[in-house]
Structures are given as C-alpha cells and as structure tokens.
Amino acid sequence: MADTDINNIRVAPNFLLREFACKDGSHQVVLHRELLERLQALRDMLSRPVIINSGYRNREHNQAVGGSPDSYHLRGMAADIRVPGMSPAALATAARQVGFRGIIIYSTFVHLDLGRGYSHQLK
C-alpha cells in the first residue's frame, strides 16, 4: 500500500484531505468544514491553484515549527497558503472577499484562520 493513498480523499472540488494533513509524516489531520468551504470559494474566485503550505498541526509539530501554543492550526481551523504568481497582499485581499477575517500576511504566504480578532497584520 502506498503512502500516497492515505488521506487521498477528495473533500472539495479542488482539495484532497491529504493536503491538510500534518507535515510531520504522521498523516494526522483535523479539518473544519468552514475552513474548507472558504478555501474552495477562494479557489473558485481566483481560478488558480491554492497551495496549502501548512494545514493541521498536531501539538508536537506545532511546537517544532514555532507555532503559537493556541494556534488555530491545532484545531483544523487554519491554513497557510500561497497562490503561484500572486503576492501575499493580493491574496489576503481576495481571502477577505470570501469571508476570512483571521489573516496574517507573511513575506511568501498568507495565514488564514476562522478567528475574527485581527486582520491584515504584517509579520
């Protein structure tokens, strides 16, 4: 059995479950439906591939990558994404249009989450 078959399940027209799995090789994944629906809406609006750099993180992996101890990534409610050929600032603006409010712009990607406490912060 190939590892690539694990979580190889289409959960939305343009996303597979494995794209959201923890990147530590554990294949663990938690995914909030609202996060997925908004990402698909974003993908539909842009008509371009949306690359998930980081979706779900278990506690160990979150700590290893220096994530916040109460990160939305731990609950399947956040994704760090990029769209080839699109600046993080432009991507953040598009994300806002599909309802995201938890937005942090980094130099090469954008963090999106289901929170409402902040938006368009630069890190």
Interface residues toward Zn ion, by CB under 5 A: 80, 111
Report in angstroms how near the CB of residue 78 gets to Zn ion at its nearest.
5
Nearer to Zn ion, 3 or 54 (CB): 54
Taking the C-alpha atoms of residue 111 and residue 88, their distance in angstroms, rounded to an integer, is 9
Q: CA–CA distance from 46 to each of 52, 111, 116 (Å)?
A: 15, 17, 23
Report in angstroms how near the CB of residue 111 gets to Zn ion at its nearest.
3
Report in angstroms how near the CB of residue 77 gets to Zn ion at its nearest.
10
Nearer to Zn ion, 43 or 82 (CB): 82
Q: CA–CA distance from 73 to each of 45, 65, 86, 91, 120 (Å)?
A: 24, 11, 23, 19, 18
Nearer to Zn ion, 19 or 80 (CB): 80
Nearer to Zn ion, 26 or 68 (CB): 68
Taking the C-alpha atoms of residue 95 and residue 85, their distance in angstroms, rounded to an integer, is 16
Place of tokens 């409010």: 101
Report in angstroms how near the CB of residue 56 gets to Zn ion at its nearest.
11
